[in-house]
Amino acid sequence: MILIPIDHVLILSFILFLIGILGILIRRNIIFIFICLEIMLNSAAFVFVISGEFWGQPDGQIMFILIMSFAAAEISVGLALLIQLQKYFKSFDIDIISRLKG
């Protein structure tokens, strides 16, 4: 059995989290922003799973299930909002949508 050091896994998770943050800050398309949010949530879930495995506790897997259910709820509500915004603004560009008035 090959054991991967926890340091390597935490560095990988940190890199994934940074990719998600950079994607949110740089991209202007809402769909890509949702994808970057999912990358960030998966990074956090990855840390919980590896921490639970490192300490020999099932808490990491429980938190993983909670994070995945939260991600599914977030995407379903987010996509419903996107459909409504697409109907109203005919675009997924944040700059156009940010001009909402009262």
Q: Structurally, how many domains does the chain consist of?
A: 1
Q: Is residue 84 part of a domain?
A: yes
Q: Is residue 18 part of a domain?
A: no
Q: Is residue 41 part of a domain?
A: yes
Give this prediction's pTM.
0.81
Q: Is residue 34 part of a domain?
A: yes
**Is the CB of residue 33 less than 8 Å from the CB of residue 82?**
no
User: Can you tell me the distance from the alpha carbon of 22 to that of 101, in angstroms, rounded to the nearest whole number?
Assistant: 28
Q: Is residue 1 part of a domain?
A: no
Which residue segment(s) compose the domain that 39 sits in?
A: 29-91
pLDDT per residue of the chain (102 residues) written in tens, 0 to 9: 678 889 999 999 999 999 999 999 998 888 898 899 999 999 999 999 999 988 888 888 999 999 999 999 998 998 898 888 888 878 777 777 777 665
Q: Count CB neighbours of 76 within 10 A.
A: 10
User: Can you tell me the distance from the alpha carbon of 64 to that of 45, in angstroms, rounded to the nearest whole number?
Assistant: 5
Q: Count CB neighbours of 44 within 10 A.
A: 17
Q: Count CB neighbours of 89 within 10 A.
A: 13
**Is the CB of residue 97 less than 8 Å from the CB of residue 30?**
yes
CATH number of the domain bearing residue 80: 1.10.287.3510
Tell me how many helices (H) and strands (E) the chain has: 4, 0
**Is the CB of residue 13 less than 8 Å from the CB of residue 43?**
yes
